[in-house]
Structure 1
Amino acid sequence: MIRRLDHVQLAIPAGAEDACRHFYIGLLGMDEVPKPESLASRGGLWLRRGDVQIHLGVEADFHPARKAHPGFVAEDVDRLASVLADAGHHPEWDDALPGIRRFYVADPCGNRLEFMSEGIP
């Protein structure tokens, strides 16, 4: 019945769009996708890199997702960890899955993100 995952939505607080642009576009290399006019007044932003889409939606009573998270396969997970660390986003490495290099990092709003060298077998 389900064909594919279209996007992941993460909540952000009002006014966090510029900080998120710096993180998701400037550090992760994503592109901003214009939101449909009917949704633009809600704030937030939509992002894409290849088939990966993230929607950041403004939530009035915002609480960051500290356990639930999207997991992304990175082209060079070690280089990405270095870029993020240099920008002040400190990776937390996890070796619980043998043969997979992966780490967690918080976005500017405190949402947990996972980056890995390969998908889970």
Structure 2
Amino acid sequence: MSGRGARPARQAHGGRAWWPGRGGGSRGAEQGGSRYRPPARRAHPALLVSDLAKLVARLGKAGIRFKPGKDLEGYVRGDIADPFGNRIELMQRV
């Protein structure tokens, strides 16, 4: 496959494909493999939304549970989980 490069030594485990970052740097992306990985709880994406209350209402109607987050100055926030159990943080500036 074009664009596929040599893995960094720390990523030398088998079963996954490695695509290096721009300029052949150490950043890259892994894909594939059949090993089970538990859902991410700490490392997670955070999405900035314009109307958290409205989104939470829509999510509730779709059966998606929202867990309010801890206070953070300037934001109201909370978490949902993707279908695999990975945490996704939703934030709104106040």
Segments of 5+ residues of structure 2 without an aligned counterpart are: 4-30
Q: Return the match for 1:89 from 50, 53, 64.
A: 64
Residues 73 and 109 of structure 1, relative CA distance in 2, 3 Å threshold: same
AA in 1 matched with 2:81: A
CA 1:87–1:99: 2 relative to 1, 3 Å: same
* Runs of 4+ displaced beyond 6 Å: none
Indicate the residue corresponding to 1:51 in structure 2.
Answer: none
Partners of 1:94 and 1:116 in 2: CA distance: 9
Equivalent position amino acid for 1:93 in 2: P
The count of residues paired between Structure 1 and Structure 2 equals 67
2 CA distance for matches of 1:78 and 1:93?
11
- Aligned 8 A contact 1:69 1:112 in 2: yes
The structure with the larger Rg is: 2
What is the aligned counterpart of 2:53 among 74, 78, 81? 78
The counterpart of 1:63, out of the listed 2, 26, 38, is 38
Greater RCO (CA < 8 Å, at least 6 residues apart): 1
1:118 aligns with 2:93: yes
Q: Please report the TM-score for the alignment, with normalisation by the length of structure 1.
A: 0.46
Contact 1:89 1:107 in 2 (8 A): no
Unmatched segments (≥5 aa) in structure 1: 1-37, 39-56
Q: CA RMSD in A?
A: 2.8
